[in-house]
Amino acid sequence: MRILALIPARGGSKRLPGKNIRLLGGRPLIERTIDIVNNLSQICEVLISTDDPAIAVICKAAGANVPWLRPFELSTDTASSVDVALHALDWYESEKGAVDGLLLLQPTSPYRTRETVLTGIGLFQEHGRTVIAVSEVKVHPSRCFSIVRSSIRPYCQKDNHEEPAYAANGSFYLISPNSLRKNRAFFDVNTVPIIINSPKESLDIDTELDWVLAENLLEK
């Protein structure tokens, strides 16, 4: 099993500037993700896709491969994760041979565990299908509203709040190259979930408030 671990780390961030290399517990945020997959036998390489030279330097020192800086057109606010992943995947397979899976790991999920990564890889090997990490949503969609002409309406027509609802938490996406190229998405109806019940592990840092929470969780 050859799995390419890809960590996308754009330099620009409007909500939390410099978050990918900001120090969390004295370590650059992205280093925590690199460490989780370094030296796993199923991972053929840890590849960083970044447009920022400062991020590149830190990632190389942490043992990851940064063979190029991401093109400008893939570094804008509108660039999709799929396009970024395909760019990295195409380069890697053309240079170093085919892989069985692409593992996308966002650096903004600092508390994902090695056990979760290994569980996800095991599910991928067992089922041969895309695997993503999900967590139960705090507010069920059947209890949400939409706003129509200044009035609220039930977001869902059916009240099915007894059935749990889940959302991707961003910490783990593992997909075959064929599926990614064919569907141009990290999800389809056959996707296998890893359910993350730990609020700490499912944390995705996007705002200053998220960062404060991450620091508090680290201290505890």
> What pTM was estimated for this model as a whole?
0.95
131-136 and 101-104 strand pairing: unpaired
Q: What interhelical angle do 114-127 and 29-37 show, nearest 10?
A: 50
3-state helix, strand, coil in the chain (%, to 5): 35, 25, 45
Alpha-carbon gap, residue 173 to 104, rounded angstroms: 5
pLDDT tens per residue, the chain (220 residues)?
999 999 999 997 778 989 999 999 999 999 999 999 999 999 999 999 999 999 999 999 999 999 999 999 999 888 999 999 999 999 999 999 999 999 999 999 999 999 999 999 999 999 999 999 999 999 998 889 999 999 999 988 777 777 899 999 999 999 999 999 999 999 989 999 999 999 999 999 999 999 999 999 997 6
Alpha-carbon gap, residue 48 to 54, rounded angstroms: 12
Q: Which residues contact 27 (CB under 8 A, 6 or more apart)?
A: none
Q: Which residues contact 25 (CB under 8 A, 6 or more apart)?
A: 215, 218
Lookup: tokens for 182: 């064919």
Strand-pairing partners, residue 84, are none
Report how far apart the first and last C-alpha atoms of the chain are (Å, whole number). 37
Alpha-carbon gap, residue 123 to 119, rounded angstroms: 6
Single out the residue of 66, 3, 6 nearest to residue 40, CA to CA.
Answer: 3
Alpha-carbon gap, residue 171 to 48, rounded angstroms: 16
Domain architecture of the chain: domains with CATH = 3-134+167-219 (3.90.550.10)
E strand or H helix at 99: none
Sign, CA dihedral 124-129-135-136, equals: negative
